[in-house]
Structure 1
């Protein structure tokens, strides 16, 4: 399914304010409430909208430290990659895990209370990940830009 300009306006509005009522959304994108509701349902059904979430302020839940961890594996065999991915998916402090091209095999985005908490996460989880040959951690000093809104 191709997106038309109205679909794009709907997606942009919902990415910025996911709790808009159908009436508010329809007014924002200049559609009747019934047409707006049908289009949003179609966007959900077709997988353009994969879910709705509340974005929690990490500082309010004492997770103000962000660490990017580059991981290099011993081998690139499917069983090694699968074992690593299954294990990393069970670590609650890992927000993102990306298979990479380049120097590192994986890039993780980890949240922690502080450096001491990251040391705990490292000892308890990261150091025991299967197939790891090397690990390089970089602490974010400040977040300059962060968004969940995709350009559509």
Structure 2
């Protein structure tokens, strides 16, 4: 089994792992000793379990999440991208990676080849980005853009 297959395989986790995951995904800054108290085990056991969950790829680090609106990024849009040819996929993704306002990029099935999430300061900023950067990427045949009016919720996958 290669590394990619290993990482895509569902991890073997037990009830203690699930309880730990529920606690740390609600609050990534929760002290391990508090998690240990909630779980009824030692702090060392929690540290070892979290390290194991990191090592097997169930969780990947921790991060602070920036609120885009607090930094003036008030327009959230999704864009379906049609490619001239499938062979352009890698080169288009690399070009998109160099546009900071493109915050997510997915290779998808269906009518689009690529689907991206874009955060811009205004609708005018979005239009500029489309006209001056995205439409100039070699390999993109055309795009279809959807502006999000409001995000009702966002969550992680359920932990049993």
Partner of 1:151: 158
1:132 counterpart = 2:136: no
Partner of 1:58: 68
Structure with bigger helix share is 2
Q: Do the aligned partners of 2:135 and 2:142 also contact (CA within 8 Å) in 1? A: no
1:33 counterpart = 2:43: yes
* C-alpha deviation, 1:130, in angstroms: 2.0
* C-alpha deviation, 1:137, in angstroms: 0.5
* Closer, same or farther: CA 117–28 of 1 in aligned 2, 3 Å: farther
List 4+ stretches of structure 1 deviating above 4 A: none
**Bigger mean CA offset, 42-51 vs 98-107:** 42-51
> Does 1 or 2 have the higher relative contact order (CA < 8 Å, sep 6+)?
1
1:8 counterpart = 2:8: no
- Structure 2, unmatched stretches of 5+, are 1-10
* C-alpha deviation, 1:76, in angstroms: 1.1
Partner of 1:88: 96
For the residues of structure 1 that align with 2:26 and 2:142, how far apart are their CA atoms? 38
* C-alpha deviation, 1:129, in angstroms: 1.7
Cα shift readout 1:97-139 (whole Å, capped 9, x = no counterpart): 1111111111110001110111122133211222111101010
For the residues of structure 1 that align with 2:84 and 2:57, how far apart are their CA atoms? 36
| Residue-pair matches, total | 149
